[in-house]
Amino acid sequence: MMQPQDALVLQDLEHDYERVRAVDGVSLSVKAGEVVCLVGPSGCGKSTVLRLAAGLETLQSGRVSMRGDVVGDPATRVRVPPERRHIGLVFQDFALFPHLTVGGNVAFGLTQLPPAERDRRVREVLRQVEMDSYVEAYPHALSGGQQQRVALARALAPEPSVLLLDEPFSGLDERLREQVRDDTLRLLRRNGTAALLVTHDPEEALFMADRIYLMRAGKIVQSGPPQDLYYRPADLFVASFFSRVNELRGVVRDGHVESPLGRLCAPGHAEGARVVVSFRPEAVTLSHARGDEADGLIVEVQDTHFLGTGWVVHVPVQDADGRDVKVSVRLHGRPPRAGDRVVLKVPPDAIVMFPET
Amino acid sequence: MSLTSQPQAASPVRFGARHWTWPSRWTIAACALALLIAAPVVSVLINAFGARSDIWEHLVETVLGDYVLNSFLIMSGVTLGVLITGVPAAWMTTLCRFPGRRLFDWALLLPMAFPAYVIAYAYTGLLDYAGPMQTGLRDMIGDPDGLRWLPEVRSLPGAIVMLVLVLYPYVYLLARATFLEQSVCVLEVSRTLGCSPWSSFRRVALPLARPAIVAGVALALMEALNDYGTVSYFGINTLATGIFRVWRGMGDPVAASQIAVILLLFVFALLAIERWSRGRASYAHSTARYRPLPRFELRGWAAFGAIVGCALPVVLGFVLPAAMLLHWALSSPEYWENAQFLGVLRNSFVISAIAAVLTLSVAIVLAYALRLHSTRATRIAARVASAGYAVPGTVLAIGVLLPLVALDHALASWTKAQFGWSIGLVFTGTLVAVTYAYLTRFLTISFSAVEASLGKITLSMDLAARSLGRSPSQTLGLVHLPIMRGTLLTAAILVFVDVLKELPATLVLRPFNFDTLATRTYDLASDERLVEAAGPALAIGLIGILPVYLLSRAIRAARPGAQKDQ
């Protein structure tokens, strides 16, 4: 199953802290030149996976390989220390050495090169992150964004097999974050660097990743390209992780579910099973009710909120159980007013159904 | 080798059959060093319980009761003294406003510069029958034979006063720290609820500061039990002087070790109290935010009282003895303007520097081992190694000397048997023995400094260095040590000065004819040559100001909010 072009392969990793299983059978791979995001809520074990990959944590069970070589496997007692794994690490707090200049920081990992070569490489990498005029500066004199770029340059300078990034943008304020994210992605693409990025931010994962692994409670729940996870979530957790979803409840009868949205096809669900009918706020369309609609649900708008990039509209809906559910709708154009009667429609391909848990 | 997730995080415990690996070199080094540090106390215990003493029963019947009683009286007196000196001073300088407050803030630390035995010599010279104070008073009342009723300095109460004067800063420092930290969260509330300064002190500040104050008293009492110079000069029989008297005077190391065990019981009780209260003290701090303190304005008599209350300890604990020593030193410069004095000075500097560097190196190895592998073994090693400060110098002296003498003799006879010549006294005839004792006693100071400083370096630094191809040792040398430069220097200075002031272990363990400032001062004072002792005594005090300066700078830097208030 391992391909030579795989920069990093993790197989069946398990890790316990005291009596708690932090990582429970995680397997993932990062191909050469690929940016992979490991995403999940805090405490799901994603950082531990990164530390196991880097060799910073003693592997208890499973196997870590890099470029086809096994670097960690307790079963065969292979344990390559982090300093000999050819990895680059970027941290949330950047971890620049405060007693060294920017140049000194970037040169730190270039021990194999002769001095002249080393200087050349330092300047080259710093130029890539547009920090070449700060070679002599000390980290404390730099802004957060600049520090992040130096940290990236330092990690990339020795040309690591794979770059591991642990929440690398969380330390930056929101306005800066987008810019730095963009720059980082461009740099990784240009160098063809394989990267494994750990983040808790779903938007960041969608933005950065070629492929996403979503983790929960030590396990990978779903993996694939961003669109797959967004549009074809494996369960309700995956669906609601990437953005808010509206949830309606119902019961399967004759392969169909009765819902306020109409009678919906429920393939693959057992007869009599309770299911959750979910759809995203931006999939919903609203139009003013004329009273002669053939399909769609006529509802009364409860309230509207302006968000800058659009509007959020709340409409109360009664689901099949008779419970009141507040459906959230994202609109870009002019919204209806509170109290307006509107027709609510959701395209069938935007509806996903999960068994109720 | 690997790094654990966090220094404080628990190590991974493996379920089922996982693979056993050798402990790392760092763990082994830490455990070996801990054993080395614990060895003197272990040797005292072995000596005390391993053999029978001929005179022990005799001692129990005669002087042992006195030893225990006097030590107990000194502890009681010192407790009372440091409390009534240190706590009000801390409260007034942190939570009140009165003229001179900012000066007293650091000046109250000055008495730490002198060891108790030095001010004991100064006060004896100042207050004795023939001293300037009594002579002056007799001249004043015109009766050359009067004032016989004046209390004697060289007495048990006198010794207590001397110890209180140099030891109250422990209580002052710790109480001060808690008063500062608790102020923001509760004192403002207590003021808005209408508490007067006095009732806010009694009902809010004091109860919250109690754990810290108890810890401060425990530290002061450990120092009081460690004192040998003052009580022996004043002719008071305590457990500390008893050890030396029985060992050196009566030639019975077993009985001396047994007395040392009694002293250790006192000390370990104090150590337990101190650690327990420190643990509780940390709960009392509920905020880390700094704001200008709500200070009580003192006026009129209250302000005057505060000034006197703060000035008295400084004047009595530092200004007066320093002036007396300075007067002696300047009136007879021939005693210290000579090559002998320079030789003593050089000895003190050499041995203190060696001890400081060694202690710091050991502290770095221990603290770094704990950072790399926070396992049960390294944690216990660190705990054992950092308990040495509690062991009195007199106990250390016997605990270090007895095994080293045995080792020396064994080594000498072995070389004689093997090669036909004796190697001589490798340990006890050189600086090895005394350096070993210093290492044991002062490791705590540098260990806690290094540990705290390492704790401030984020673990990602280690990880970054490791991922960039450096081993743990290289990471230590290239990243941690350069970042900690300042702390390391401070820690080295603290150890340097404490070694310079140390008396009992130095007296016993130094090589023959090797005089330091401390031993020279002690020897001269014991011969009643107080004026001659002034030179080395003053030198100790002047060098002792160095840590006071560092400490006062540190407490000012620790509280940015305090800069703005007046």
Q: Which residues contact A78 (CB under 8 A, 6 or more apart)?
A: A70, A71, A72
Q: What is the ipTM of this complex?
A: 0.79
CB B467 to CB A83 under 8 A? yes
pLDDT band at B189 (very low <50, low <70, confident <90, very high): low
Whether B190 has a pLDDT exceeding 70, the answer reads no
pLDDT band at B102 (very low <50, low <70, confident <90, very high): confident
Of the partner residues B12, B468, B471, the one whose CB lies closest to the CB of residue A16: B12
pLDDT band at B566 (very low <50, low <70, confident <90, very high): very low
Whether B373 has a pLDDT exceeding 80, the answer reads yes
Q: Does A97 touch chain B (CB under 8 A)?
A: yes
Closest CA to B118 of B525, B547, B510: B525
DSSP letter string, B339-368? HHHHHHHHHHHHHHHHHHHHHHHHHHHHHH
Q: Mind listing the pLDDT tens digit for each residue in B251-295?
A: 888 899 999 999 999 998 988 888 888 777 655 544 445 555 667
Closest CA to B208 of B189, B183, B188, B191: B183
Whether B145 has a pLDDT exceeding 50, the answer reads yes
**Spatial contact of B106 and B113, defined as CB atoms under 8 Å apart:** no
Question: Which residues are A16's β-sheet partners?
Answer: A21
Q: Say what the pLDDT of residue B293 is.
A: 60
Closest CA to A10 of A49, A68, A79, A64: A64
Residue B49's SS3 state is helix
Query: What number is the average pLDDT over the span B223-248?
Result: 92
CB B469 to CB A18 under 8 A? no
Q: Mind listing the pLDDT tens digit for each residue in B169-182?
A: 999 988 888 887 76
Q: Say what the pLDDT of residue B286 is.
A: 47
For residue A95 the two structure tokens come to 């971890």
**Spatial contact of B545 and B322, defined as CB atoms under 8 Å apart:** no
pLDDT-above-70 percentage for chain A: 98
Q: Say what the pLDDT of residue B294 is.
A: 62
Q: Which residues contact A79 (CB under 8 A, 6 or more apart)?
A: A55, A58, A59, A72, A73, B2
Q: Mind listing the pLDDT tens digit for each residue in B509-528?
A: 999 889 999 999 999 999 98
pLDDT band at B71 (very low <50, low <70, confident <90, very high): very high
CB A82 to CB B2 under 8 A? yes
CA distance, residue B122 to nearest chain A CA (Å) = 47
CA distance, residue A87 to nearest chain B CA (Å) = 6
Q: Mind listing the pLDDT tens digit for each residue in A114-170?
A: 999 999 999 999 999 999 999 999 999 999 889 999 999 999 999 998 999 999 888
DSSP class of A275: E
Q: Say what the pLDDT of residue B283 is.
A: 53
The predicted model scores a pTM of: 0.82
Whether B538 has a pLDDT exceeding 80, the answer reads yes
Q: Mind listing the pLDDT tens digit for each residue in A39-74?
A: 999 889 998 999 899 988 888 999 999 988 999 998
Query: What number is the average pLDDT over the span B136-161?
Result: 82
What is the dihedral sign for C-alpha B282, B283, B288, B293?
negative
Q: Which residues in chain A have Cβ-Cβ distances shorter than 8 Å to B14?
A: 16, 60
pLDDT-above-90 percentage for chain A: 48
Whether B21 has a pLDDT exceeding 70, the answer reads no
Mutate to test the interface with A, among B467, B475, B481, B487 (most CBs of A within 10 A): B467
- Count other Cβ atoms within 10 Å, centred on residue B31: 19
Whether B485 has a pLDDT exceeding 60, the answer reads yes
Q: Mind listing the pLDDT tens digit for each residue in B410-460?
A: 888 898 888 888 887 888 888 999 999 999 999 988 998 899 889 888 888
CA distance, residue A171 to nearest chain B CA (Å) = 14
DSSP letter string, B171-226? HHHHHHHHHHHHIIIIIHHHHHTT--HHHHIIIIIHHHHHHHHHHHHHHHHHHHHH
CB B3 to CB A57 under 8 A? yes
Q: Say what the pLDDT of residue B265 is.
A: 93
Query: What number is the average pLDDT over the span B459-483?
Result: 92
Q: Say what the pLDDT of residue B154 is.
A: 87
Q: Which residues contact B35 (CB under 8 A, 6 or more apart)?
A: none
Q: Which residues in chain B have Cβ-Cβ distances shorter than 8 Å to A51?
A: 5
What is the dihedral sign for C-alpha B75, B80, B83, B84?
negative
pLDDT band at B31 (very low <50, low <70, confident <90, very high): very high
The whole-chain average pLDDT of chain B stands at: 85
CB B5 to CB A48 under 8 A? yes
CB B467 to CB A16 under 8 A? no
Q: CA nearest A155 in B: which residue?
A: B468
The CA-based angle B375-B376-B381, given to 5 degrees, is 100
Q: Which residues in chain B have Cβ-Cβ distances shorter than 8 Å to A164?
A: 467
Whether B2 has a pLDDT exceeding 50, the answer reads no
**Spatial contact of A83 and B466, defined as CB atoms under 8 Å apart:** yes
Mutate to test the interface with B, among A23, A108, A138 (most CBs of B within 10 A): A108
Amino acid symbol at B182: Q
Q: Does A167 touch chain B (CB under 8 A)?
A: no
Q: Say what the pLDDT of residue B184 is.
A: 56
Q: Mind listing the pLDDT tens digit for each residue in A209-227?
A: 999 999 999 999 999 999 9
Distance CA B377, CA B4 (A): 14
Q: Say what the pLDDT of residue B12 is.
A: 40
Q: Which residues in chain B have Cβ-Cβ distances shorter than 8 Å to A82?
A: 2-3, 463, 466-467
Query: What number is the average pLDDT over the span B184-188?
Result: 61
**A69-73 sheet: strands from edge to edge:** A20-31, A6-17, A61-66, A69-73, A78-79
Q: Say what the pLDDT of residue B11 is.
A: 39
CA distance, residue B260 to nearest chain A CA (Å) = 42
Of the partner residues A16, A58, A109, the one whose CB lies closest to the CB of residue B469: A109
For residue A212 the two structure tokens come to 């996403």
Distance CA B173, CA B181 (A): 13
Q: Mind listing the pLDDT tens digit for each residue in B315-370?
A: 999 999 999 999 999 998 888 888 889 999 999 999 999 999 999 999 999 999 99
Q: Does A103 touch chain B (CB under 8 A)?
A: no
Q: Which residues 107-126 of A have a C-beta within 8 angstroms of B?
A: 108-109, 111
pLDDT band at B9 (very low <50, low <70, confident <90, very high): very low
End-to-end CA distance of chain B: 53
pLDDT-above-70 percentage for chain B: 89
Q: Say what the pLDDT of residue B353 is.
A: 95
Q: CA nearest B463 in A: which residue?
A: A56
Of the partner residues A61, A83, A88, the one whose CB lies closest to the CB of residue B470: A83
For residue B286 the two structure tokens come to 């509920």
Whether A192 has a pLDDT exceeding 80, the answer reads yes
Of the partner residues A77, A85, A93, the one whose CB lies closest to the CB of residue B19: A77
- Cβ-based interface (< 8 Å): residues of B facing A: 1-5, 9-10, 12-15, 18-19, 458, 460-461, 463-471, 478-479, 482-483, 485
Of the partner residues A17, A54, A97, the one whose CB lies closest to the CB of residue B12: A17
Q: Mind listing the pLDDT tens digit for each residue in A12-22?
A: 999 988 778 88
End-to-end CA distance of chain A: 34
